[in-house]
Amino acid sequence: MRFLRIFSGFDHLASLLLHQNDPNYYITLSHNGTRLRVLKAPDLYSTEAVFHNFEEQVVRLSKYQMRQAQTEAQDEQLTRMLVQAEAQVKRLRKHLQRKTSQE
């Protein structure tokens, strides 16, 4: 088998393969290495349409994972900002205590 095209999104993968010994094309849709769908076709024209459909399915299926990755990145950013703000509050309190004790 020879890969002609691969389209992936997170854990999902669409692939278009050509079997070299017999002139057939194979289109697969996989999730985490497990094939969900496999289609066989004798001509490239029909496989192109199916591959395009599998690409669209990969996009739809991976949207949840994309949103989850974005949410996790935003959480990490907000956590860093919170830690920085808390450190600044601590510094300001110390500075204020020093000023108050000097008076």
* pLDDT tens-digit readout, 11-29: 999 999 998 888 899 999 9
What are the tokens at 52?
A: 């395009």
Instruction: Name residues whose C-beta falls within 8 Å of residue 30's C-beta, 6 or more positions apart in sequence.
Output: 12, 13, 14, 15, 36
| The pairing of beta strand 24-31 with beta strand 2-9 | unpaired
Average pLDDT, the chain: 93
Q: Label residue 6 by pLDDT band (50, 70, 90).
A: very high
Digit-coded pLDDT (tens) for 42-68? 998 889 999 999 999 999 999 988 999
How far apart are alpha carbons 94 and 86 in whole angstroms?
12
What are the tokens at 13?
A: 């993968």
